[in-house]
Amino acid sequence: MPSRREIARDWGVAKSYVDKCVTQRGCPTSSLEEARKWREENARRRPPTDQKSIDREIADQRDHDSQGTTILIPLTTAKNMAYRGYDAILDLVDQLPKSVAAQCNPADPQLALTVLQSECTCILCKACDVYALVESRAAYHQGDRCRMMARGGYSLSDSQAAQ
């Protein structure tokens, strides 16, 4: 069982602070690990202001990060994953008119197809605009999406006319 002085040394604080945590706030003294766990869950910590404490915090953070608890992926990988998801959603939007037109208006499925295509084209065009704003790679996506809309029998001008 560590002493309060040992806990203070481990935390890098004054013994009087540990005394207060133990007597007034219920910090365990059964082990350094339990005391650390309690501190992480209960003690309010303000950011350090002196250079020595700042350096210690940076070193602690590096130690913590090197234990493999932080998993980061490259930004390009994250963007590619996002684009794949967006493309899948936009493909579904593109297929929507043909797959539901007859259900929307059984008496005149062609009218429903025209209306749905117009609305979906508007959605796809807005998505193309977002792609174009996000990054230069968007030109590739925008070209693909616009070609896909042309294959579907409608074009960008249809959606602009619908607006």
Domain boundaries, the chain: 4-69, 75-162
Query: To 5 degrees, how large is the angle CA 79–CA 83–CA 85?
Result: 120
**20-56 pLDDT tens trace:** 999 988 999 999 999 999 988 887 666 677 788 788 8
pTM: 0.40
**In the prediction, which pLDDT does 64 show?**
65
- Mean local confidence (pLDDT), 103-125: 91
Note the pLDDT of residue 150. Answer: 44
User: Dihedrals φ, ψ of 158, to 5°?
Assistant: -60, -45
Structure tokens at 139: 């030109």
| Cβ-based neighbour number of residue 70 at 10 Å | 9
